[in-house]
């Protein structure tokens, strides 16, 4: 990056430390327009923070993605929290989460209040258009990351191997296996660069002591909340425990959390299975992380607290583990990634992450969105707008939604 680039990014955003208000505005726009699930979110994030604003370079961003793939919880939200933390400290982390999460959370709480009056949006044409937009966003992310993170035949081979593993055995566990294989291959087979020059340092605002405290608190709550819920018998304690456990134990995020949430809220009688499935259908129609489904569940669950208060409690409980894990692990991650051996490992891991993204481009992104020739044409047009015409992703999302609505009439 040149001195001029470092002083000012393409859109006028200055590099270096930022403010929580700046972070909030950027993530609020992402929270309003980031459809397509966690893999698509990572594509939106890369376009916003690597390409346009240059808050991070491609390697630093890929390292954050690799870290969050290892952690339980919603990977895209954790990447957002980490970006906010690096940009503006603890207020930035909170601002990133609020901006990215609140639009969909508010929409789902509103749906909870009006569930009987609203229809199921799962078959709407505009929603299908949003899924097609996700195909273009993920394809752009794969192309960009392939060029920067797997530019040679060794790392391109690792990416293809990782994609094959994930497609052959689709699960969160297979993603972890692919990342581990990529890391081992990087450590054993890839050349080791100069530790001082391979990575610009992450602008950390927290130290290891803070990280240790956050990790201790994470495990104390994970072990203590079930005891508190069982001994008090209070619904509030049970509500917090159920959603904190879901946010702590689910690897892969997104749809992987649904069976755990269903087991937590339906068998105890907090809601019917029909109400659960209706909320899941609505969650597909809103932008942002799928974990905001917790806001809907907390709002419709019974007994009290429910409504907007129950939604807020469930939302905070399911995301609290992500905050504690990111804050706890990031200081140690920065020290590790600067070692020559660790950098070789990370190059292999990053190549594997590209492969995982490539696999996700096919399943679930492509398989869920592309059902015929017109869908392929719309996806190609959206990709052209993103790559060749440099159209903002939010505008591509809106155009794709409109086109999807028109296609539904054909």
Q: Using a CB cutoff of 8 Å and minimum separation of 24, what contacts does 81-84 make?
A: 81/322, 81/323, 81/326, 82/326, 82/330, 83/23, 83/45, 83/49, 83/55, 83/56, 84/20, 84/23, 84/27
Query: Do residue 230 and residue 379 come from a single domain?
Result: yes
Domain housing 24: 20-98
Rounded distance, CA 73 to CA 290, Å? 11
Query: Do residue 44 and residue 137 come from a single domain?
Result: no
Is 165 in contact with 181 (CB distance < 8 Å)? Answer: yes
Q: What is the pLDDT of residue 325?
A: 96
Q: What is the pLDDT of residue 372?
A: 92
In terms of pLDDT, which residue wins out, 358 or 256?
358
Domain final position from 98, 133, 159: 98
Q: What is the pLDDT of residue 335?
A: 75
Query: Do residue 88 and residue 141 come from a single domain?
Result: no
Does residue 113 form part of some domain?
Answer: no
Query: Do residue 163 and residue 291 come from a single domain?
Result: yes
Predicted confidence (pLDDT) at residue 278 exceeds the cutoff of 90: no
Average pLDDT, the chain: 84
Q: What is the pLDDT of residue 60?
A: 86
Lowest mean pLDDT segment, chosen from 33-37, 159-163, 313-317: 33-37
Write the pLDDT tens digit of every residue in 292-327: 999 999 999 888 888 899 999 999 999 999 999 999
Query: Do residue 326 and residue 400 come from a single domain?
Result: yes
Q: Which percentage of the chain shows pLDDT scores above 90?
A: 39
Query: Do residue 42 and residue 183 come from a single domain?
Result: no
Give the position of tokens 């709550």: 221
pLDDT, mean of residues 35-41: 79
Write the pLDDT tens digit of every residue in 164-196: 998 998 776 787 788 889 989 999 998 876 554
Does residue 2 form part of some domain?
Answer: no
Give the dihedral sign, CA 273/275/277/283: negative
Query: Do residue 153 and residue 296 come from a single domain?
Result: yes
Does residue 347 form part of some domain?
Answer: yes
pLDDT band at 95 (very low <50, low <70, confident <90, very high): very high
Q: What is the pLDDT of residue 226?
A: 92
Report the number of distinct structural domains present in the chain. 2
Query: Do residue 135 and residue 48 come from a single domain?
Result: no
Does residue 288 form part of some domain?
Answer: yes
Q: What is the pLDDT of residue 359?
A: 86
In terms of pLDDT, which residue wins out, 211 or 11?
211
E strand segments, 124-259:
none
Is 269 in contact with 281 (CB distance < 8 Å)? Answer: no
Rounded distance, CA 192 to CA 301, Å? 53
Query: Do residue 320 and residue 387 come from a single domain?
Result: yes
pLDDT band at 136 (very low <50, low <70, confident <90, very high): confident
Rounded distance, CA 132 to CA 35, Å? 10
Predicted confidence (pLDDT) at residue 256 exceeds the cutoff of 80: no
Predicted confidence (pLDDT) at residue 1 exceeds the cutoff of 50: no
pLDDT band at 49 (very low <50, low <70, confident <90, very high): very high
Contacts of 397 (CB under 8 A, 6+ apart): 33, 35, 130, 133
């Amino acid at each position: 990056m040149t001195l001029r680039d470092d002083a000012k990014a393409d859109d006028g955003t200055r590099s270096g430390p930022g403010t929580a208000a700046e972070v909030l505005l950027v993530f609020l726009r992402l929270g309003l327009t980031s459809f397509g699930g966690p893999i698509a979110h990572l594509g939106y994030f890369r376009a916003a923070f690597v390409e346009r604003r240059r808050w991070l370079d491609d390697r630093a961003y890929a390292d954050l993605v690799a870290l969050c793939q290892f952690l339980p919880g919603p990977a895209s939200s954790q990447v957002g929290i980490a970006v906010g933390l690096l940009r503006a400290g603890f207020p930035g982390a909170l601002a990133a989460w609020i901006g990215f999460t609140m639009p969909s959370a508010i929409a789902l709480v509103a749906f909870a209040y009006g569930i009987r009056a609203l229809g199921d949006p799962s078959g709407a044409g505009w929603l299908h258009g949003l899924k097609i937009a996700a195909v273009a966003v993920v394809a752009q992310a794969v192309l960009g990351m392939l060029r920067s993170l797997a530019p040679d035949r060794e790392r391109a081979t690792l990416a293809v191997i990782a994609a094959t593993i994930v497609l052959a055995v689709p699960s969160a566990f297979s993603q972890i296996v692919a990342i581990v294989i990529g890391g081992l291959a990087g450590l054993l087979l890839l050349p080791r660069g100069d530790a001082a020059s391979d990575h610009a340092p992450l602008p950390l605002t927290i130290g290891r002591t803070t990280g240790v405290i956050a990790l201790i608190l994470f495990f104390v709550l994970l072990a203590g909340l079930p005891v508190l819920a069982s001994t008090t018998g209070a619904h509030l304690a049970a509500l917090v425990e159920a959603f904190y456990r879901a946010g702590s134990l689910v690897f892969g995020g997104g749809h992987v959390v649904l069976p755990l949430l269903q087991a937590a809220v339906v068998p105890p009688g907090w809601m019917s299975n029909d109400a659960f499935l209706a909320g899941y259908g609505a969650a597909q129609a809103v932008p942002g992380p799928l974990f905001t489904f917790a806001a809907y569940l907390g709002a419709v669950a019974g007994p009290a607290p429910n409504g907007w208060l129950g939604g807020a409690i469930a939302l905070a409980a399911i995301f609290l583990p992500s905050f504690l894990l990111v804050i706890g692990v990031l200081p140690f991650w920065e020290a590790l990634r600067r070692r020559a051996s660790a950098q070789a490992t990370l190059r292999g891991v990053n190549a594997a992450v590209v492969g995982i993204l490539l696999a996700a481009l096919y399943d679930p992104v492509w398989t869920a969105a592309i059902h015929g020739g017109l869908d392929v044409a719309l996806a190609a047009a959206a990709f052209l707008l993103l790559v060749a015409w440099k159209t903002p992703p939010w505008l591509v999302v809106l155009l794709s939604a409109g086109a999807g609505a028109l296609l539904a009439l054909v």
